[in-house]
Amino acid sequence: MAEKKQIGKVLFSQEEITKRAKEIGKQIDKDYEGEEVIFLGTLKGSVPWLVDIMKYTTVDSKVDFITASSYGSSTTSSGVVKITYEPRINMYNKHIIVVEDIIDTGNTLKYLTAKIEERGPKSVKICTMLNKESRRVADLHADYVGFEVDDLFVIGYGLDYDQKYRGLPYISYLDETDVETL
C-alpha cells in the first residue's frame, strides 16, 4: 500500500495521538467506574478520535452522533451553528461525553451542550482531541483534552479542509502557501 504524501506541517504523529487517547481512556474509566457512559461524537471530524477513545476505555458505553457546523467550506467560523443530524439515543439521566475533534471559538459546542442539557442527562462532559484556547470566545471548558494547539488551521485525523484530508494518519497544519496550492 502506498504511503500518503505528507500534507502541511506535522504537529502530532499517529503515535502521539494514540498515546494521548490511551491516557484519556484510563481517566474516563477512573471517572466513570461502575457507570454507563454515552459517547456522543460530533460528525464528521470526531470519528477517528472517538474510535480511539472508545478503544481505550472499558466502561460500559453506548455511542451516538450529532452533526453541527459553523464552518462550511471556509477556514474560519461563520458564527452560525446549524444542526443537521440529531442523536436518537435517550440521554435522560445518563452520563454524556461529547467527543469533539477541535474546539475553536467554542460557539458550536456551547450551543450543542445547551441542546443536550435540555434532554435531562445526569452529566455532560467534553472530550476534545484539540483545544484552541487562543480563539475561545464562548465560556466553555473541555474536561478531557488531547492537545493544546495554537491558532493554526489544522487538518488530518478527522479534521478537514473543504471535506479533504480527514484520512491523514497525523495532525498537521496549513499555512497560506499550503492553502493556495491545494
> Helix axis angle, 47-55 relative to 14-31, nearest 10°?
60
- Exposed e or buried b for every residue in 62-76, given b needs 16+ CB within 10 A? eebbbebbbeeeeee
C-alpha cell at 125: 462532559
From CA 117, how far away is CA 37, in angstroms rounded?
A: 15
Q: For residue 30, give every residue at least 6 positions away whose Cβ sits within 8 Å of its Cβ, in sequence order, or none.
A: none
Number of Cα atoms under 13 Å in the Cβ half of residue 71:
22
Q: Which positions ≥6 away from 26 have C-beta within 8 Å? A: 56
Lowest pLDDT segment from 10-19, 67-76, 138-147, 171-180: 67-76
Kindly list the catalytic residues: 104
Residues 44-63 pLDDT 10s: 999 999 999 999 999 999 99
pTM of the model: 0.89
Q: Is 14 helix (H, G, I), strand (E, B) or coil?
A: helix
Q: Would you state the pLDDT for residue 156?
A: 95
The grid cell for 87 is: 442523536
C-alpha span between 167 and 131 (Å, rounded): 20
The reported pLDDT for the residue numbered 67 is 87
pLDDT in tens, 81-126: 777 788 999 999 999 999 999 999 898 899 899 989 999 999 999 9
Chain position carrying cell 480511539: 52
CA distance 84 to 125: 22
Segments in 56-131 forming alpha helices (H)? 107-117
Q: Is it true that domain 14-151 has CATH number 3.40.50.2020?
A: yes
